[in-house]
Amino acid sequence: YYLAALREAFEETGILVGERPDGSAPSTAVADAEVNAVREELMQDRIDFAQTLSALDCRVDGDRVEYIAHWITPTPEPRRYDTRFFAARVPPDTEAIVDPREMTEALWIPPSDALRRCDHGELPMVFPTIKTLEQLAEYEGADAALDGIGGEEVRTILPTLVVTPTGVGLEIDDA
């Protein structure tokens, strides 16, 4: 799952969570046309992820990635998802590229800001994203969050559909 997450992150954002031989992080697709060209080759299935890493002279850096959540769509839903959430440490000035095939916007904001914007209807999010951001918002800063969550066991969350006064909602078993 880690490699798939890192590949997807690179395809969708142009950010490769990796390390060059000198210990530095690789350039992003925004900052370097060569990196973006290699990314396009990967996205067109002309090269695989191993060839991508070789072309960019880097290796993935698992120490910068934390597995933070695992969600499965409630059983009655016709479309089912089994989704894992990962978070990664990247340099603070890292800039993402928007791939319009995958997303419409990329932004770096603290989890608490994202949750506030969601509450005000400015940033729509689905339930698993909201709950994962609530977990991250308990920490002061990205490093503290990744250090804290990285030490926890990730349990699979399979919400239950429940009828509420306003319609149908989701409930999580706290066990």
Q: What is the DSSP string of 28-43?
A: PTTT-HHHHHHHHHHH
- pLDDT band of 91, cuts 50, 70, 90: confident
The first and second tokens of residue 85, run together, are: 């959430």
Domain borders along the chain are 2-171
Cα separation of 134 and 129, whole Å? Answer: 9
pLDDT at residue 175 tops 60: no
CB 26 within 8 A of CB 85: no
Residue 45 has a pLDDT of 96
Residue 149 has a pLDDT of 83
17 φ, ψ to 5°?
Answer: -80, 90
Tens of pLDDT, residues 49-66: 999 999 999 999 888 899
| Rounded percentage of the chain residues whose pLDDT exceeds 70 | 99
42 φ, ψ to 5°?
Answer: -65, -45
Domain 2-171 indexed as CATH 3.90.79.10:
yes
Coil, strand or helix: which one is 12?
helix
